[in-house]
Amino acid sequence: MNYSTKNTDNRYILVLEDNNSRRTISLEESKYSLGRHSSNSIVIHSRQVSRKHATLIKKFNRKTNQESFWILDGDLEGKKSQNGIFINGEKCTVHELTDGDLINFGCEVNASYHAVSPATISESFIDKNKSKKIDKSILKPVKQPATLPLDKSVEPSTFLLDNSSLKDLGNDDTFQEESYLDPVTDLPNRILFNEYVSIAVTNAKRHKNCLAVFLIDIKRFSEVNDSFGYTIGDYFLQAIAHRLKNCIRTGDIVGRWGGDEFAILLPHIKEADNLYKITQRIIKELKYPFTVEDKTQSLVTHLGMAIYPKNGQVPQDLLNYAETQLIYHKRTGNHNILNENLSQTNASLSQVEKRLYEALTKKELCLYYQPQLNSNTKKTEAMEAFIRWKHPKYGLVPPKQFLPWVEKTELLVPLTRWILEQACTQNKKWQNAHLPFVIVSINLSMAQFHHPQLVDLVGESLTSTGLDPQWLELEITEAIILKDIKLAYEVIRELSELGVRVCLDDFGIGYAAVSNLHQMPFNTIKIDVSLIKDMDENPENTTLISALIALGESFDMRVVAEGVETQQQLNTLHNLHCQTMQGYHLSKPLSVQEATQFLTFHNIEPLDTL
């Protein structure tokens, strides 16, 4: 088998003209950074040039069997220059330089690139007489046309640069022109995007910062092509690319991942919370209908995300994690549906979202705690947390009046994080105050449980607060299980692996939960309040409750009767050997101060009601 060999006979010259001088630079190394900052390999003397304006990378082109230099706009961390780069008058992001190319840096600074034989270099460019004194006049600004002729009338200064401090891009030293940019959108395609991710990971390791990768899928985009044709479909892709570029920060990178998928790289994020604002911008930018050639179309998107170093510490692991998340969202139907109909409903929702965000940031939200008491020990066994909104106008607002709105906005993740952190922090404070160790229990909605970040949010909250996982319990209902039994099992298993307790709420009103009880690693079951409420009038409920208590005990689960409002209900449950009870007859939900007093007092004096 014959292998082609690299033709490396040519030498590469960059003739650079800035405010200080006209320089002839022999490109001996594989990578150079260009900009006005003194740390660059090639310093450009102009205030209009960015600190890190461009990068030169030597690669091998299989088509021409030649090495050549590529020029990239910005640095290898993904930060673009302010004014861009222009090759032969055309603005570009990435370009393979060929002999005679003229480079403009978006200002008065120009350069020309040359690939010449060593003989030509010795005769025309490089002054080999080392003792020859360079004419100082060439260090003054030289005003010439943008085209830089390589004549012998001006004696050039010669720079043989030291090894670049920039890091290698990888073992593969081959770049082909078509492998850089997507022909439809002019975005970096998968190959170039992968290079950017590799560079970003290297820099993130060095600077100990976080980065994030998004993969965005346009659902059923083939229907756009089928309805309007491939030409219009390409225009839609260009419109999507344009919107994505408009909503990211300077230095972030958008790429075409392939087909109907796009990718976004955020090389610098201070913390995971920053992602909320960035993600919100991306979603809002895509949610409005697209109009191309009088064709209007709303789109449905799925997002997959990975964060370095949490979800992976090498580029491929990050991309694999993002792909897995994307597939998961597509399978579960967790997507952002973008309506054409942006009417009063959406306007009202936007206002509610804004007000809820203010409530979160202005500390208008708080948690109340309702005790769960053990009828045998007469001590507090757990505290169930309930969120409340201390509205400045309407007073204490219960969750049912605002949580449904939260699930329609992008506040679900930050609110879930807030609830988890507040509850865990408070429980840790009680423990540090030498109060009885109790379980703190939190209800999860359907949206919260099925959100792909739930397990991560729980783990992060436990880590940041220092609470032992065994003192946190998460409550879910039968309806959550029935939506996707297999998925519910996986999430519950992951939570159990963290050491967190899981409770099945509203137990006894359906049969599916009973049939799957042995498969799910529940720690607690809560008998539905409707069964307790009608217990006095309906003797059949007493028989059912007795069976549920026995069932829970047979699986070694903690059984809680909630909604206990009378002494008669309490007595009946006690006779049925239900150990743990919760309800207004024992205590209403308490503020933090009241709950602390309750734990303090009943740590000394058992509750008389029991």
| Beta pairing class for 472-477 and 524-527 | unpaired
CA distance 585 to 566: 6
In whole angstroms, how far apart are CA 547 and each of 32, 231, 542? 76, 66, 9
Dihedral sign from CA coordinates of 108, 114, 118, 121? negative
CA distance 72 to 534: 73
CA distance 434 to 411: 35
Token pair 């640095």 is found at: 75
pLDDT number for residue 418: 92
pLDDT number for residue 563: 92
Q: What angle do CA 380, 381, 387 make, to 5 degrees?
A: 90
pLDDT number for residue 143: 31
Residue type at position 514: V
Question: 66 Cβ partners below 8 Å, 6+ apart?
Answer: 6, 7, 10, 60, 115
pLDDT number for residue 555: 87
pLDDT number for residue 433: 94
CA distance 570 to 608: 12
Q: Which two tokens stand for residue 442?
A: 């939190």
Nearest to 441 by CA among 480, 496, 385: 385
pLDDT number for residue 20: 74
pLDDT number for residue 42: 94
pLDDT number for residue 170: 36
In whole angstroms, how far apart are CA 172 and each of 96, 191, 386, 606? 16, 12, 56, 72
Q: Which two tokens stand for residue 156?
A: 């050039």
- DSSP-derived secondary structure letter, 7: B
Instruction: Map out the domains of the chain with their CATH numbers.
Output: 11-160 (2.60.200.20), 179-342 (3.30.70.270), 345-604 (3.20.20.450)
Dihedral sign from CA coordinates of 232, 322, 247, 361? positive
DSSP calls for 279-307: HHHHHHHHHSPEEETTEEE--EEEEEEEE
CA distance 235 to 108: 35
CA distance 150 to 156: 10
Give pLDDT < 70 ranges for the chain.
1-9, 61-64, 89, 117-180, 250, 271-277, 280, 328, 331-353, 409-410, 510-516, 604-610
Per the DSSP assignment, residues forming a β-bridge with 304 are 215
CA distance 110 to 18: 7
- DSSP-derived secondary structure letter, 126: -
Token pair 């913390």 is found at: 271
